[in-house]
Amino acid sequence: MRLDILTIFPQMFDGAFNHSIIQRAIKKGLVEIHLHNIRDYSKSKHLNVDDYPFGGSSGMVMMIQPIADCIEKLKSERAYDEIIFMTPDGERLNQPIVNQLSMKENLILLCGHYKGIDERIRDQYITREISIGDYVLSGGELAAAVLTDSLIRLIPGALSDETSALSDSFQDGLLSPPVYTRPADYNGHKVPAILLSGNEKEIRKWNYEQALERTRKRRPDLLEGQGDS
């Protein structure tokens, strides 16, 4: 998979991509992440990337020219499966969307700032708009980092234990059951006995029941519609 991230703050991704699973996936060659500074494409004298909105409303708007030139250059080099704009008014990210996008080859992620981007970018280039939640961030960078992380952990080979992505919360429509590790007794706080029993079938059943119970309590919305058919 190749991700091209368009941003005016490429340094914001330094910390996010230089650790753990993402770093290992990059080193293994499972994913390529290319950061593009939108300012490098500005043709204005002072390398501006934003301007006042027509119509006189407040805030600044990201200009069409630098973003369009950057996208055009990338599109001339390879075909992209999706050109995604990170924005609070996009479709809300969830595991099915992540699963779907993780199977793509080439993605562009565009990070907005200020009041928004010139609508003509959205009209002409953007194929998908994604929000990571109903709150407003100061820019799309953190949202793009969240999407990137959620995608990379699904690429085969990115996780050391390949089955562990399958047992993630949400992958089967349920939250994950509680997990424990040694010691089995910590100052009288004991691990549920079933997990020490060695009975795989009973442990699987217990895990499923715990996942169901947790989902019922915390996220009943995930169960709505299930079992209707």
**C-beta contacts of 15-18 below 8 A and 24+ residues apart:** 16/145, 16/148, 16/149, 17/145, 17/148
User: Judging by beta carbons within 10 Å of its beta carbon (0-12, 13-18, 19+), is residue 161 exposed, middle or buried?
Assistant: exposed
Cα–Cα nearest to 65, from 24, 25, 22, 125: 125
Query: Shortest approach of ligand ADE to residue 143 CB, angstroms?
Result: 3
Identify residue 137 by its one-letter amino acid code: L
Query: Shortest approach of ligand ADE to residue 113 CB, angstroms?
Result: 8
d(CA 175, CA 214): 7
Which residues of this protein are in contact with ligand ADE, per CB under 6 A? 86-88, 112, 131-133, 135-137, 140, 143
Query: Shortest approach of ligand ADE to residue 140 CB, angstroms?
Result: 4
Query: Shortest approach of ligand ADE to residue 144 CB, angstroms?
Result: 8
**In the complex with ligand ADE, which residue's Cβ is closer, 39 or 128?**
128
**In the complex with ligand ADE, which residue's Cβ is closer, 53 or 173?**
53
Instruction: Give 35's Cβ-side CA count (13 Å radius).
Output: 16
**In the complex with ligand ADE, which residue's Cβ is closer, 40 or 91?**
91
**In the complex with ligand ADE, which residue's Cβ is closer, 121 or 159?**
121
